[in-house]
Structure 1
Amino acid sequence: MTGHSSTPAQLTGHRAFSRTFSQGRLTLGFVAPLEGYPHGPAPTLANHAAMVRLVDDVGISALWLRDVPFYDPQSGDVAQILDHMVYAGWLAAVTRNIAIGTARIVAPLRDPLIVAKQTASADQLFGGRFLLGLASGDRSAEYPAFGIGFHTRAERYREALDIIRTVTEQPFPLHESRRYGRLDGSLDLVPKPAASRLPTIAIGRAGQELPWLGANMDAWIWHGSDARRMTDIIPQWRDVTATHGFKPYGYGTWFDLDRDPDAPIQHGRVLRGGRHALIEFWQSQQLAGISHIVLNLKPTLRPAEDILDEIGSHVIPHFPSHRPEEVEVVQ
């Protein structure tokens, strides 16, 4: 276990974390790209500047980017196509308030020192609007391309997190890892994050036991095939985080908003329904302890702009983004 078990109380001044996570209140985020592409692996990215400005304007709390380096026909989805960190920088330039997070960086496939440099730089340039989501990756076909054994991903994940936290939080650190490099105290990674440290969020289980996630991560975003079951694990999560203070829990799901506002929810692999039923459903999940829900529009046939307009007008007032102190974005 790593030695970093401090609580999210240290992140209350972090703009993105405070905007997205608050005890007893639920917020909504979306996965980029903001369009449906149900019949193929790749989005068009048409009008994506206008779409990200729209989610920023309507008050969505966070926009999440996925780390998918290759097209694997067995997986059938290439996310936003563009490199997640390059795209994050572009998104920061065309938005003002929305948090921008990675859901997920595949930590075992990335050099943790480079990830630390990129993400601390992003946090500075975004004015504290960056959320670092890390996963172990579930696409086994990618691992041989990087010369890494798929069976090592859980251990690599733990080591990568330890390195990222060490070099972004400590000046001139001493550190040695089994699978990565060695720091002898003569080097200091710059820049450091905008706040006291980067928020680190587990995306999925990352091959780890729940107590380890509860002790070492600032938040956890899970995923599953049925949104109704996403509250089942909350008692266990509360048990493993009880001595660490409030640590948010949320989930991601494929999503489609029915044109009929009174349509009932159709549960399953895709969460689909009218806004009235969804508001009621999410209110019940808020009471159960869910802090954030990440919605992926891939399966929708409806124009994403229509969905986002409806969400902004009728749903977000029930689940508003939190309002941390505004800071100036570095130009």
Structure 2
Amino acid sequence: MMITPSPAENAGPNPFGRGYASMFAPQQLTVGVYFPIEAFDGPEPAMHDQIELAQQAERLGFAALWARDVPLNDPSFGDLGQIYDPFVWLATIAARTSAIALATGAVILPLHHPIDAAKAAASLDRLSGGRFVFGVASGDRPVEYPAYGRDADLRGVLFRDAFDYVEALLTKRFPAHASAHYGRLAGGGDLVPKPLSPRLPTLVTGQSQQSLDWIAQRSDGWLTYPRDANQQAQVAARWCEALGRLGAGFKPIAQSLYVDLAADPDTPPSPIHLGYRVGRRRLADLLDDLRSNGVNHVALNLKFSRRPVADVLDEIGTEVIPHFRISAP
């Protein structure tokens, strides 16, 4: 069955859709969570109860559910994400949720043909009612580029080429576009469906082999990596400077954060891989510092949780999330 948006879904000044609008606003911070919503050892999650946990996160007011693109098991990398293809998985989640944003963090754009990537992204956006936020990256796992017959040394060039092609398909009708690596469009064919809103919000992950000015100019936001508060403040300041040089308006900065939530709410943060073991009150302090330093969204990863993740979601959702929702100006 085709989902047809109501006029209300296309109304208003927001050009990016309701998923983006629920995640990002100037000087505010929201919280999301990565799939798998699960604690596990090794690279492969069990993926039990993920739909129910996603629905729990939505009820509790988390702003977004995130999925990753990991096409092959690379033992040297040690992380399979949610195992399933991100578009297929998020379409499944879209059918079982109604309001929470759905984001990729991130699709390895050079490894997908731009027509296929654009078709999947626009389809997911339509099927979710405008909730999709399209995170893209150049990729960094060693086995992938040779397996796809691509030159890893060209991944920055391939990323820009694929990005341009996808953008033409998503924003223009019957586009004429020449790609150096992925083929050409002569204006005789058009991508359908188009995204629900005028522009599908696209976040670039890390540097993706690009300059910060290029990312600031071409993307709708930046997904970067966790750092300590002082370092992240400097990174956010560089982002704002790049936007200022280009005369651009607000474009958000988001990051991931691994969290092992301690039972004692006042447990101070102690480092774990790409995050902290921390109590809920001190987690709220960390998030408040990030908000003050210019970060607009934090996507939690619960892989290293020592407590049942349903309990962790409930505690964060009840005690922390109410302080980090987008409020009216």
Q: TM-score range by the shorter chain?
A: over 0.9
Q: Normalization by structure 1: what TM-score? A: 0.91
Aligned partners of 2:99 and 2:131 also within 8 Å = yes
Matches within 5 A, 1:28-39: 28-37=31-40, 39=41
Question: Helix, strand or coil for the counterpart of 2:159?
Answer: helix
The corresponding residue for 1:290 is 295
CA contact (8 A) 1:10 1:196 kept: no
Aligned Cα RMSD in Å? 1.6
Q: Deviations over 1:285-314 (max 9, x none)?
A: 212211001111111121110110001110
- Unaligned 5+ runs, structure 2: 1-11
Structure 1 CA distance, aligned partners of 2:308 and 2:89? Answer: 22
State the one-letter code of the partner of 2:20.
Answer: F
Whether the 8 Å contact between 1:252 and 1:296 is mirrored in structure 2 is yes
Q: Give aligned-pair identity as a percent.
A: 39
8 Å CA contact 2:223, 2:253 repeated in 1: yes
Shift of 1:13: 5.4
1:253, distance to aligned residue in structure 2 (A): 2.0
What residue is the counterpart of 2:7 in the other structure?
A: none
What is aligned with 1:315?
A: 320
- 2:268 is aligned to 264
Could you tell me which residue of structure 2 aligns to residue 6 of structure 1? none
Q: Output the CA distance in 2 between the equivalents of 1:267 and 1:11.
A: 38
Match of 2:126 in 1: 124
Moved more, 59-68 or 272-281: 272-281
In structure 1, give the amino acid aligned to 2:261.
Answer: L
CA deviation string 1:167-219 (max 9, x = no partner): 11101111101111111111111111000010010111111111110101000
Q: 1:246 aligns with which of 244, 247, 250?
A: 250
Contact 1:61 1:321 in 2 (8 A): no
Q: How far apart, in 1, do the equivalents of 2:142 and 2:234 lie? A: 28
Given the alignment of the two structures, is residue 19 of structure 1 paired with residue 14 of structure 2, yes or no?
no
Partners of 1:132 and 1:264 in 2: how far apart? 34
Letter in 2 for 1:120: A
For residue 187 of structure 1, give the secondary structure of its aligned residue in structure 2.
Answer: coil
Aligned partner (choices 103, 106, 127) of residue 105 of structure 2: 103
Shift of residue 231 of structure 1? 2.0
CA distance in 2, matches of 1:12, 1:272: 38
- For residue 195 of structure 2, what is the aligned residue in structure 1? 193
Distance 1:41 1:301 in 2: 17
Does the 8 A contact of 1:230 with 1:251 survive in 2?
no
Residue 75 of structure 2 corresponds to residue 73 of structure 1:
yes
Q: Which has the higher contact order (CA 8 A, sep 6+)?
A: 1
Q: Is residue 19–residue 99 contact of structure 1 (8 Å, CA) maintained in 2? A: yes
Q: What is aligned with 1:328? A: none
Work out the CA distance in 2 between the residues paired with 1:228 and 1:317. 25
Is this contact kept in 2: 1:227–1:253, CA < 8 A?
no
Per the TM alignment, residue 161 of structure 1 is displaced from its structure 2 partner at its CA by: 1.0
Q: CA deviation at 1:321?
A: 4.8
Residue aligning to 1:326: none
Contact 1:58 1:309 in 2 (8 A): yes
Contact 2:232 2:293 in 1 (8 A): no
Indicate which of 89, 106, 116 corresponds to 2:91. 89
Cα distance between partner residues in 2 of 1:322 and 1:298? 30
Residue among 56, 59, 62 paired with 2:61: 59
Whole-Å Cα distance in 2 between the matches of residues 302 and 261 of structure 1? 13
Alignment of 1:293-304 (within 5 A): 293-304=298-309
